[in-house]
């Protein structure tokens, strides 16, 4: 019954991580909970090299992506996009009545400092983008973008969707200095979905104090007040927190640099296969994702290919957004080691041969 997932998320979860969720339930206002919450926050800070506040909020990553807009933008932001999820960040702004100045970069291209040169004026309260665009498989250089924003308007908040890069690619937080870095559990953390994680700066917390209409669920001031006591604001997914605590121990034992190298290695394997067996990778060279290979499918009958692959016990992902019918995607993130994509690539070779 089991299928090996090489999907873009949720991704494969190891059995011991799943089991870690089965500890007896506790309430979220007891001292055992405080210890659990506090331990997770410290481990995330250590892994990502930051002293900033860490918010743990029940929901998917979008709840905190939207929350960062609601807490950090009164009127106007600048949203850079090179794919579906950059567009979604922008929509989180417009859906909340903000004026979002859009900077659109062609799909498949990285967002570069030149794209926003001269565009971050004093009226721009925040600049937001996706570090690893999951629809196109592009990893932009977020540090370079943040430096370009700060050089133009040091007051502009930096908001980064790190949903498919955090814990897989080195985001260099000491240099990036994000005001909001948002992600969830179901991608490179290799856990079930259900928890949004936000790394937030003092600057956005300060801005949130006077913000109107920021709602209750992701009010950063309320979240911070509770986080200072190692509590969540509302009932958190306690079972998932058990698994996150367990998983963070695994991750720290592996070492973050080793984890980044492992993702690099798997990305190169998939990229090499795409060059040899398909029409190459969709994203531009030099900015290719460490977690998702977005492959030009040419005249491949993807549905037939994927059906045959599933018969062999493997699942990958369809293309997404504007490139849905011209690409397909292979997720290679989380706890899988290079032996796993090697098995997938061999199975894909077999299917291609069978289809001839």
Ligand X SMILES: Cc1ncc(COP(=O)(O)O)c(C=O)c1O
Measured from the CB atom, the residue of 62 and 296 that comes closer to ligand X is 62
Burial code (b: 16+ CB inside 10 Å, e: under 16) for 186-223 equals: bbbbbbbbbbbbbbbbebbbebbeebeebeebbbbebb
Give the Cα separation of 174 and 241 in Å (integer): 26
CA angle 178, 182, 186 (to 5 degrees): 145
Name residues contacting ligand X, limited to 142-181 (CB under 6 A): 161, 163-164
Closest separation in Å from C-beta 198 to ligand X = 12
First to last CA, the chain: 28
Measured from the CB atom, the residue of 9 and 192 that comes closer to ligand X is 9
CB 188 within 8 Å of CB 166: yes
Measured from the CB atom, the residue of 50 and 81 that comes closer to ligand X is 81
Among 11, 36, 61, 241, binds ligand X (CB under 6 A): 61
Q: Which helix (H) or strand (E) holds 312?
A: none
Among 7, 9, 17, 289, binds ligand X (CB under 6 A): 9
Give the Cα separation of 190 and 139 in Å (integer): 19
Closest separation in Å from C-beta 118 to ligand X = 27
Q: Is residue 62 part of the contact set for ligand X (CB under 6 A)?
A: yes
Q: Is residue 55 part of the contact set for ligand X (CB under 6 A)?
A: no
Closest separation in Å from C-beta 283 to ligand X = 14
Closest separation in Å from C-beta 280 to ligand X = 22
Name residues contacting ligand X, limited to 182-211 (CB under 6 A): 184
Q: Which residues contact 241 (CB under 8 A, 6 or more apart)?
A: 36, 37, 40, 56, 195
Closest separation in Å from C-beta 27 to ligand X = 26
- Is residue 165 classed as helix, strand or coil in its secondary structure? coil
Measured from the CB atom, the residue of 10 and 341 that comes closer to ligand X is 10
Closest separation in Å from C-beta 151 to ligand X = 26
Give the Cα separation of 68 and 39 in Å (integer): 24
Closest separation in Å from C-beta 164 to ligand X = 5
Q: Is residue 81 part of the contact set for ligand X (CB under 6 A)?
A: no
Give the residue ranges of DSSP H helices in 155-217.
173-176, 202-209
Measured from the CB atom, the residue of 141 and 161 that comes closer to ligand X is 161
Q: Is residue 294 part of the contact set for ligand X (CB under 6 A)?
A: no
Q: Is residue 44 part of the contact set for ligand X (CB under 6 A)?
A: no
Q: Which helix (H) or strand (E) holds 210?
A: none
| Binding range to ligand X, per CB under 6 A, among 57-65, 116-124, 147-155, 293-301 | 57-65
**Binding region for ligand X (CB under 6 A):** 9, 60-62, 85, 130, 134, 161, 163-164, 184
């Amino acid at each position: 019954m089991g299928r090996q997932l090489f999907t873009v998320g949720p991704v494969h979860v190891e059995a011991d991580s799943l089991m870690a969720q089965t500890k007896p339930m506790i309430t979220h206002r007891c001292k055992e909970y405080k210890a659990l919450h506090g331990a997770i926050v410290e481990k995330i800070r250590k892994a990502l090299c930051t002293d900033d506040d860490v918010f743990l909020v029940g929901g998917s990553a979008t709840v905190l992506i939207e929350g960062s807009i609601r807490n950090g933008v009164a009127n106007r932001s600048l949203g850079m996009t090179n794919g579906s999820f950059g567009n979604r960040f922008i929509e989180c702004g417009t859906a909340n009545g903000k004026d979002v100045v859009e900077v659109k970069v062609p799909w498949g291209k990285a967002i570069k400092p030149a794209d926003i040169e001269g565009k971050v004026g004093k009226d721009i309260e925040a600049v937001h983008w996706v570090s690893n665009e999951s629809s196109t498989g592009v990893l932009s250089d977020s540090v370079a973008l943040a430096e370009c924003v700060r050089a133009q308007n040091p007051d502009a908040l930096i908001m980064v969707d790190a949903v498919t890069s955090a814990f897989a690619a080195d985001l260099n937080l000491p240099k990036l200095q994000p005001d909001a870095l948002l992600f969830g559990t179901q991608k490179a953390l290799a856990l079930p979905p259900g928890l949004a994680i936000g790394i937030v700066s003092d600057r956005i917390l300060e801005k949130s104090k006077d913000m109107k209409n920021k709602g209750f669920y992701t009010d950063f001031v309320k979240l911070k007040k509770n986080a200072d006591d190692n509590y969540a604001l509302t009932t958190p997914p306690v079972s998932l927190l058990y698994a996150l605590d367990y998983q963070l121990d695994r991750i720290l034992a592996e070492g973050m640099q080793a984890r980044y190298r492992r993702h690099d290695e798997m990305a190169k394997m998939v990229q090499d296969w795409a060059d040899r067996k398909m029409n190459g990778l969709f994203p531009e060279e030099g900015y290719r994702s460490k977690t998702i290979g977005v492959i030009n499918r040419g005249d491949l009958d993807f549905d037939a290919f994927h059906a045959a692959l599933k018969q062999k016990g493997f699942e990958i992902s369809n293309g997404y957004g504007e490139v849905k019918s011209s690409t397909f995607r292979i997720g290679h993130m989380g706890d899988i080691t290079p032996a796993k994509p090697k098995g997938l690539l061999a199975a894909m070779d077999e299917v291609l041969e069978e289809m001839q």
